[in-house]
Amino acid sequence: MKSQTSIIATQCRLQQWAQQIRDCQNRPADMQVGDWCEMNGITKANYYYRLRRVREACIAELETTAPTFVELPIAESPKAMAEQVNEQACAILKCKNGMSLEILPNTPTDFLKVLFGVMRDVE
């Protein structure tokens, strides 16, 4: 098992190499990788070794931080939800273009102002 010091040293080295790789990838379009390496004091083989190591580290990081999934309850059917909204709506606005809006009692006034502005622009 690696010591804490060697883990930190490896991480620092990988960060430095990642910066070198970014620098090389941002080189002028007419400059070859070999020319860039020569200007920066590393061999072309060493550049590709570092590139491979940085990619491997990125893949390892992605694998350890895989997303977790959470089970969500099954939502009600759209019809049941619509019936519920109809019961609670305090106002139903029908527009000329066929759209209708159901306004609930606790709808923030700021939201309504924005909504009415958008609706005015739609018509």
- 31-71 pLDDT, tens digit per residue, is 999 999 999 999 999 999 999 999 999 888 877 776 677 77
Q: Which tens digit of pLDDT belongs to each residue from 12-42?
A: 999 999 999 999 999 999 999 999 999 999 9
Query: What is the residue-averaged pLDDT of the chain?
Result: 83
In angstroms, the Cα distances linking 7 to 1, 51, 53, 88, 120 are 10, 19, 14, 59, 60
Ramachandran assignment for 69, one of left (phi > 0), alpha (psi -120 to 50 degrees), beta (any other): beta
- Residue 79 — pLDDT band, cuts 50, 70, 90? low
- pLDDT of res. 60: 86
- How far apart CA 122 and CA 115 sit, in angstroms, is 11
Mean pLDDT of 97-108: 78
